[in-house]
Amino acid sequence: MNLIYYANFNPSMQFLNPNTFFVYVEAAQERGGDAGVIQLRNSQKGLPLTLIEQYLQEGLVGNLQGETSERDMRTVEEQFQKINFVLRSGGIVWLPSREIQTQITCLEKSSPKMAGYALKRLEHLTSNFSPPSIELP
């Protein structure tokens, strides 16, 4: 039951361990994205975390808006419940920290309530499931 951070998804990472799962940034419309997002969306190893409204063309996204924050918070809560279940069941969950931080920064402008909620839930995951820090000499 560990939470591990990663920068970029590599498809071969799915085969590291049968109990390995990967969080990916999902769109509320549940379509589009780069090859890694599409692969994780169609895999049993993928755990979505809805932080954007839609994937647009190459590298661009449509941000969630304050008007949809209730819908978005319900969706994200269900997704965090699933992530927590996987972790409590002994799974290893990989979290795309850089991408999530980028999306939360964008959310702070377009939907501050949703950004605060997602950040609070991420802090809960980090405090409960991250391995202890190790200082090397």
Q: Which domain holds residue 71?
A: 2-129
| pTM to 2 decimal places | 0.87
Domain tally for the chain?
1
Residue-wise pLDDT tens for the chain (137 aa)?
Answer: 688 888 888 888 888 888 999 999 999 989 888 888 999 999 999 999 999 988 887 666 778 888 888 889 999 999 999 999 999 999 999 999 899 999 999 999 999 999 999 999 999 888 888 766 545 45
Q: Is residue 123 domain-resident?
A: yes
Q: Is residue 134 domain-resident?
A: no
Query: Which among 53, 59, 29, 58 is positioned nearest to 41, based on CA atoms?
Result: 29
- 62: which strand partners? 54
Q: Is residue 97 domain-resident?
A: yes
Q: Is residue 136 domain-resident?
A: no
Evaluate whether 76 touches 49 at the Cβ level (below 8 Å).
yes
Q: Is residue 57 domain-resident?
A: yes
Residue 88: the pLDDT is 93
The rounded distance, in Å, linking the Cα atoms of 44 and 81 is: 16
Q: Is residue 135 domain-resident?
A: no
Q: Is residue 43 domain-resident?
A: yes
Residue 1: the pLDDT is 61
Residue 136: the pLDDT is 43
Q: Is residue 61 domain-resident?
A: yes
